[in-house]
Structures are given as structure tokens and as C-alpha cells.
């Protein structure tokens, strides 16, 4: 990717259309305009009346790199920025999972209740006065999947599962940690909070807890992060290790069906180390 093009060519690229039953069909102009607005907001392109230019410093080789670019840009935004609502709302899910001591409420609440409660936790306004509503919930979940923060379930009319496993694995890879390296629990959580501020101890997570009046436990993780770490442990992306005095343990949210309930260290990419 690189360079610039005239506006007509650019518009044709983002709304190329397709052929159905011998007729060419194009998306509504408003959808193409929304795509351009999103790309501009994320710094991917700068467009004017006559031309469109790739954003300064943007070098994207593939789908994963695009997701990384979008994630980094959103994670760097201050809470309350309308674009940051994607991650602000995810931080609220993490905080709410901690308050509710589980994730079942996501499937107990209907779309209306979910959107209303999420909107209450967000700061700022969109063009319609709400950062989250029933119409925005579906594309919000699609954004999460794209960023590696959610997984589609093979069940009809069931909300996606908000798991950050893919993004955690990606950020550990991007952090340049040598495979087989072992971090203390505190160092590991500090790394995650810095790169993924919507998770436990991160800037957006702390603000989300404050907005819903919840005090998280310093040495126990939210159910959202706990489920993800257990999954990553089970598939050997990381290995959670436990040793030492109980006062040094970081506890996972309780799950009697899993052997890991706490850890003091994390081995990164153990299966790929020599």
C-alpha cells in the first residue's frame, strides 16, 4: 500500500460493486461514505475533493497488520473519544464481568438492556447522542472480532463471546518476548495492561470500574481475563505457573472445573522454545 490516487478511483475501490443475475450492484453511497469516514478517523487515509492519500507512516502488509494498526490507534486514544468507544465498551464488559463474577449476564440480557447498560458506562456522545445503542451493538461486536477480542459462537441469535485470547497472543508476539521466557505474574499483567488498557489494571479498565462504582480486587483477575488465560494455558500459548507463599499468588476468577486457580509466573510460548 502507498501513494495517492484521484478521488474517483478511490471511491470505485471502496465501493466496487458486484454482479448478480447479470446486473452490477453497488452498495449504498452512505455505506461507502461510512467506510471512508472510518478509514479517515483511523488515520488510514486522508481524503479531499480531488484525491485520497494514504495516511502518513501507514505501512500495512496484511490483514493482521491492519488489525494491529487499528488496535494501536484505538488503544492510544483517551477515554471519551468517540472512536475509543469500541475499547471503552470492552473495558466495561471486563469490569462488569468482575462485578457480576461471571460472563453469563451477557447472554441473559437482551440487546436493549445490554446497549442501555453499556451506554451508561461510556463518556461522550455520538451524532445521535448515544455511543451505544441496539443498532451499534452488532457492528461493535464485529469490530471486536476483527481486533482479536471476540469469537463468534455457532449458535443462532447468540452474542459473540468476548474473549481477548487472539489479541493477547498477538501482543505477546509483537512485544518481542523470547519464546520460553518466564515473566513474574506482576510483570506479565503490567505488560498486558500497557498494551491492552481495557483489561485488568489497564487505564480503560480502571476508569470503567470507577464509572460503575466497582472496586476490583488487586490480586484477583476478572472472569473475562481469567477465562482467556486459562484458554491460552490449555493451548500452550502460555503456561501459568504457581509457587511460593499464598500472599504472592495472583488468583484467577474461580472455576472449579479447571486445575489452575492462581499463578505466580507465566512462561511465554513454551512450545516454540528450543
DSSP assignment, residue 151?
B
Strands (E), the chain: 4-6, 18-20, 23-25, 45-47, 51-54, 182-184, 238-241, 250-251, 262-263, 265-268
Q: Are 209 and 216 a contacting pair, CB within 8 Å?
A: yes
Retrieve residue 83's grid coordinates.
472512536
d(CA 43, CA 252): 37
d(CA 263, CA 201): 16
pLDDT reported for residue 118: 92
Closest to 202 (Cα-Cα) out of 145, 164, 159, 251 = 164
Distant-in-sequence, close-in-space partners of 55: CB < 8 Å, separation ≥ 6: 43, 44, 45, 46
pLDDT reported for residue 33: 60
Retrieve residue 45's grid coordinates.
487515509
Q: Are 199 and 75 a contacting pair, CB within 8 Å?
A: no
Retrieve residue 153's grid coordinates.
459462537
Retrieve residue 47's grid coordinates.
481524503
- The residue written with cell numbers 490507534 in the block is 73
Per-residue pLDDT tens digits of the chain, which is 274 residues long: 456 777 677 666 656 666 667 776 665 565 556 666 666 667 677 766 777 676 666 677 788 988 999 999 999 998 878 788 999 999 999 999 999 999 999 999 998 999 999 998 887 766 566 788 888 898 899 999 999 999 998 888 788 999 999 999 999 999 999 999 999 999 999 999 999 999 999 999 999 999 999 999 999 999 999 999 999 999 999 999 999 888 889 999 999 999 999 999 999 999 775 5
Closest to 104 (Cα-Cα) out of 227, 193, 6, 215 = 227
Instruction: Kindly write down the DSSP assignment for every residue of 25-65, as one continuous string.
Output: E---HHHHHHHHHHHHHTTSEEE-SSEEEEPTT----SHHH
Q: Are 235 and 204 a contacting pair, CB within 8 Å?
A: no
Retrieve residue 221's grid coordinates.
483477575
d(CA 270, CA 147): 24
Distant-in-sequence, close-in-space partners of 147: CB < 8 Å, separation ≥ 6: 67, 70, 71, 74, 86, 167
Distant-in-sequence, close-in-space partners of 7: CB < 8 Å, separation ≥ 6: 47, 48, 49, 50, 51, 52
pLDDT reported for residue 1: 46
d(CA 188, CA 183): 6
pLDDT reported for residue 53: 72
Amino acid at each position: 500500500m502507498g501513494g495517492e490516487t484521484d478521488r474517483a478511483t478511490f471511491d470505485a475501490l471502496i465501493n466496487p460493486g458486484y454482479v448478480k443475475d447479470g446486473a452490477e450492484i453497488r452498495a449504498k453511497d452512505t455505506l461507502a461514505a461510512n467506510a471512508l469516514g472510518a478509514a479517515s478517523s483511523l488515520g488510514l487515509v486522508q481524503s479531499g475533493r480531488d484525491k485520497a492519500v494514504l495516511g502518513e507512516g501507514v505501512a500495512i502488509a496484511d490483514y493482521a497488520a491492519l488489525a494491529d494498526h487499528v488496535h494501536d490507534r484505538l488503544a492510544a486514544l483517551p477515554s471519551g473519544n468517540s472512536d475509543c468507544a469500541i475499547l471503552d465498551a470492552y473495558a466495561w464488559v471486563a469490569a462488569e464481568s468482575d462485578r457480576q463474577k461471571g460472563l453469563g449476564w451477557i447472554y441473559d440480557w437482551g440487546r436493549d438492556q445490554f446497549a442501555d447498560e453499556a451506554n451508561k458506562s461510556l463518556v461522550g456522545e455520538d451524532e445521535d447522542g448515544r455511543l451505544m445503542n441496539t443498532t451499534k451493538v452488532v457492528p461493535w461486536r464485529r469490530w471486536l472480532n476483527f481486533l482479536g477480542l471476540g469469537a463468534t459462537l455457532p449458535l443462532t441469535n447468540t452474542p459473540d463471546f468476548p474473549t481477548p485470547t487472539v489479541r493477547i497472543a498477538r501482543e505477546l508476539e509483537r512485544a518481542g518476548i523470547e519464546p520460553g521466557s518466564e515473566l513474574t505474574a506482576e510483570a506479565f499483567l503490567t505488560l498486558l495492561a500497557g498494551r491492552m488498557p481495557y483489561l485488568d489494571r489497564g487505564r480503560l479498565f480502571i476508569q470503567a470500574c470507577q464509572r460503575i462504582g466497582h472496586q476490583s480486587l488487586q490480586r484477583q483477575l476478572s472472569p473475562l481475563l481469567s477465562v482467556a488465560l486459562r484458554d491460552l494455558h490449555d493451548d500452550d500459548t502460555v503456561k501459568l505457573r504457581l509457587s511460593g507463599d499464598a500472599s504472592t499468588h495472583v488468583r484467577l476468577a474461580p472455576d472449579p472445573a479447571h486445575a489452575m486457580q492462581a499463578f505466580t509466573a507465566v512462561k511465554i510460548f513454551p512450545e516454540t522454545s528450543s
